[in-house]
Amino acid sequence: MAIDLSTRYLGLDLRCPVVASAGPLQQSVDGITALADGGVGAVVMYSLFEEEVRRESARLQNLGDLHADSYAEALSYFPDLPSVEEGVTKHYLNLIERGAAAVDVPIIGSINGATRGGWVDTARRMQDAGAAAIELNIYMVPGDMSVSGPEIDDRHLEIALSVKESVSVPVAVKLSPYFSSVGHVAAALDRAGVDGLVLFNRFLQPDIDIERVTVVPGVTLSHPDDARLPRTWIATLRGRLRASLAATSGVETPDDVIKYVLAGADVVMTTSSLVRHGAGHAQVLIDGLAEWLERKSLTLDKARGMLAVPTGVHADEYERAGYVAALERAKQVYGR
């Protein structure tokens, strides 16, 4: 008997809980089609960066200022000024439109930024182009020591609320784990009406080349060990929020998908495994999940959240107990 893997995420009906997260494979219609053919339940587009939109807007403003004092007759000698959507933005929106028309799974637009401006207009354009939902990748590197924790929390809320109020499609926020209280921020976003939370974004930390004595930008694919932190928080938040929970980072094999589902993830997102093995690897992940469910005589709904922190207990006490038990185990194994 076929296992039913149908899933609800952000209020959208998906055929399965494995989702292609923002990545390089989505840079063409062929890439989007390959991911859909590979079996994913939805495709999150690669991120459109706030800086790219700002540069295009500034270019338009500069061209407008350059000719602002020209006589009306002279303007006919100049070509039409490019719209704000020329270049990167126009290509991105066109790709959403063509991708949405080419596949039968939802296409989710992704915006990456850190400041308050520019999100609303871009989100509206993505929606108009055919995006079924918007993912806000609020990538704030906490390097400014003058910015307080509450200020960062408030900026996330302000950005999410402004976009949520401006579009009719669902909105998800991709969070980092670097908050004074991840749970507090998650609950605040949930109360504000955000439709989903994606846990967690990975900051690409640089390395140091000791021979060239220089800082080297760090771009690395995720490893299964990276899943432990988001899995812990998903297990903690499951049943305590209205918003959907998406897991991302550390997905390589079906086992990683299964663990996230047991922790309580509504969907499991992956980029690294699809980059390593190709878009068709999604079907390996999906088949492995289905086979495990059948072997355990479980439905997807029954398995989801089976190992989440019980809602009737205090999560901090539960996690503390696990921490103490882990240390006691370590003493036994390594203390000899």
Domain residue spans of the chain = 7-305
pLDDT at residue 74, as a whole number? 37
The alpha-carbon radius of gyration of the chain (Å, integer) is 22
- Reported as half-sphere exposure (CB side, CA atoms, 13 A), residue 102 has a value of 18
Please state, in angstroms and rounded to a whole number, the distance separating the CA atoms of residues 238 and 232: 10
CATH superfamily of 7-305: Aldolase class I (3.20.20.70)
Secondary structure of residue 138 in the 3-state scheme:
strand
pLDDT at residue 119, as a whole number? 83
Please choose, from the candidates 159, 102, 89, 155, the residue with its C-alpha nearest in 3D space to the C-alpha of residue 128.
Answer: 89
Q: Longest Cα pair distance anywhere in the chain, in angstroms?
A: 90
pLDDT at residue 145, as a whole number? 81
Please state, in angstroms and rounded to a whole number, the distance separating the CA atoms of residues 143 and 132: 34
pLDDT at residue 83, as a whole number? 46
pLDDT at residue 199, as a whole number? 97
Q: Cα 71 to chain center, whole Å?
A: 49
Neighbours of 310 (CB within 10 A): 12
Per-residue pLDDT of the chain (336 residues; tens, 9 = 90+): 589 999 999 999 999 999 999 999 999 999 999 999 999 999 999 999 876 665 655 444 443 443 344 433 333 333 343 444 458 899 999 999 999 999 999 999 999 877 766 788 899 999 999 999 999 998 776 667 888 888 889 999 999 999 999 999 999 999 999 888 999 999 999 999 999 999 998 777 788 999 999 998 777 788 888 999 999 999 999 999 999 999 999 999 999 999 999 999 999 999 999 999 999 999 999 999 999 999 999 999 999 999 999 977 665 655 544 544 544 555 566 776
Which tokens go with 143? 């390097």
User: What does the CA dihedral 288, 289, 295, 296 come to, rounded to 10 degrees?
Assistant: 150
Which tokens go with 298? 């479980």
pLDDT at residue 143, as a whole number? 67
Q: Where are the beta strands (DSSP E) in the chain?
A: 7-9, 12-14, 18-20, 43-44, 48-49, 107-113, 133-138, 171-175, 196-199, 207-209, 214-216, 244-248, 267-270
73 and 86 in contact (C-beta within 8 Å)? no
Query: What phi and psi values does residue 246 have, to the nearest 5 degrees?
Result: -110, 135
Please choose, from the candidates 143, 147, 148, 135, the residue with its C-alpha nearest in 3D space to the C-alpha of residue 175.
Answer: 135
